[in-house]
């Protein structure tokens, strides 16, 4: 389970819980995607689709931008 704190600033706290292997896998995938091109969504949602297919996780991206930001909230479960 991954939760991202609420807030209007671009930096928020991300909490990942689960088995050690699951947490490691989630952190590794997120870090790899961010390192790859600095975003999680990707062109036409390809990165999110890959995460969904690879892990079976549900990934939801908010339709509205966060206040004072060009970013959107993402929920992964």
Cα gap 1→13, rounded to integer Å: 14
pLDDT tens per residue across all 77 residues of the chain: 888 888 776 667 788 888 989 888 988 887 787 776 756 666 777 878 888 888 888 888 888 887 887 777 878 77
Structure tokens that stand for 24 in this block: 């490691």
Q: Is 38 helix (H, G, I), strand (E, B) or coil?
A: coil
Cα gap 28→34, rounded to integer Å: 10
């Amino acid at each position: 389970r991954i939760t991202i704190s609420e807030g209007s600033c671009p930096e928020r706290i991300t909490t990942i819980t689960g088995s050690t292997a699951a947490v490691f896998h989630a952190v590794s995938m997120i870090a790899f995607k961010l390192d790859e091109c600095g975003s999680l969504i990707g062109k036409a949602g390809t990165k999110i689709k890959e995460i969904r297919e690879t892990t079976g996780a549900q990934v939801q991206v908010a339709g509205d931008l966060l206040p004072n930001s060009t970013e959107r909230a993402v929920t992964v479960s």
